[in-house]
Amino acid sequence: MSKTLLLYFSGYGHTRKIAERIRARLAEQGEDVLSAALDDDSIDPSAYDRIVIGASIRNGKHKPAVHDFIQRHLSLLEERPSGFFSVNLVARKPGKNTPETNPYLKAFLEKSPWTPDLVGVFAGNLDYQRYSFADRNIIRFIMWLTKGPTDPQTNTEFTDWEQVDRFAERIAELGKPAKAA
């Protein structure tokens, strides 16, 4: 049986929650799967048959640690069936919620030397009460610019969990021979 590694970079835990949901869905199908933080040095990615990376957007970018990891493990990522997903709030908008239309995912794919076999993008969450003072102000400004919720008392989860489940199903197919039509 193939082993799947789900690595996440998560600021306030929402990308970790999405990775956990994917892990649970794969485990239900009998898959051997580990979900872990991208900077967990105790993990040897070469021990896994499939590798999927998920990362959130902070201030317009995926964190440099994500690009560093990809650079360091590029040949492994290219050699094994692999996937990438981005989590951001722009993806809450219809018309910006697919790999083809989400500006962050498009920029990632243009810049990255790695070509994942599977890509996804999910709308994140907006939990004002959990943010530091500085982060709360940054994100309120972004929400004001993009006509999102600006009330600092609110917590809004924009993630479409069925879309996450469909992505998990596609991960389970990664590296398997294509089904006959």
Ligand X SMILES: Cc1cc2nc3c(=O)[nH]c(=O)nc-3n(C[C@H](O)[C@H](O)[C@H](O)COP(=O)(O)O)c2cc1C
Count of beta carbons in the 10 Å neighbourhood of residue 96:
19
Is 149 among the residues that bind ligand X (CB under 6 A)? no
Which is closer to ligand X, CB of 47 or CB of 59?
59
For residues 116-145, which are near ligand X according to CB under 6 A? 124-126, 131, 135, 138-139, 142
Which of 1, 41, 59, 145 touches ligand X by CB under 6 A?
Answer: 59
Which is closer to ligand X, CB of 4 or CB of 159?
159
β-pairing, 155-157 vs 125-127, is antiparallel
How big is the chain by its Cα radius of gyration, in Å?
16
Angle at 160 between CA 159 and CA 165, to 5 degrees: 115
Which of 7, 38, 53, 87 touches ligand X by CB under 6 A?
Answer: 87
Which is closer to ligand X, CB of 43 or CB of 142?
142
Angle at 103 between CA 102 and CA 109, to 5 degrees: 90
| Closest separation in Å from C-beta 27 to ligand X | 21
Q: Residue 169 belongs to what H/E stretch? A: helix 161-173
**Closest by Cα among 163, 138, 147, 177 to 25:** 163
Which of 4, 5, 7, 14 touches ligand X by CB under 6 A?
Answer: 14
Which is closer to ligand X, CB of 75 or CB of 146?
146
How far apart, in Å, are the Cα atoms of 63 and each of 17, 78, 86, 92?
Answer: 18, 21, 11, 20
Is 97 among the residues that bind ligand X (CB under 6 A)? no
| Closest separation in Å from C-beta 70 to ligand X | 17
Which is closer to ligand X, CB of 2 or CB of 150?
150
H helical segments located in 7-160: 14-28, 64-72, 74-79, 103-111, 133-145
| Closest separation in Å from C-beta 154 to ligand X | 13
> Where along the sequence are the contacts to ligand X (CB under 6 A)?
10-15, 56-60, 87-90, 124-126, 131, 135, 138-139, 142
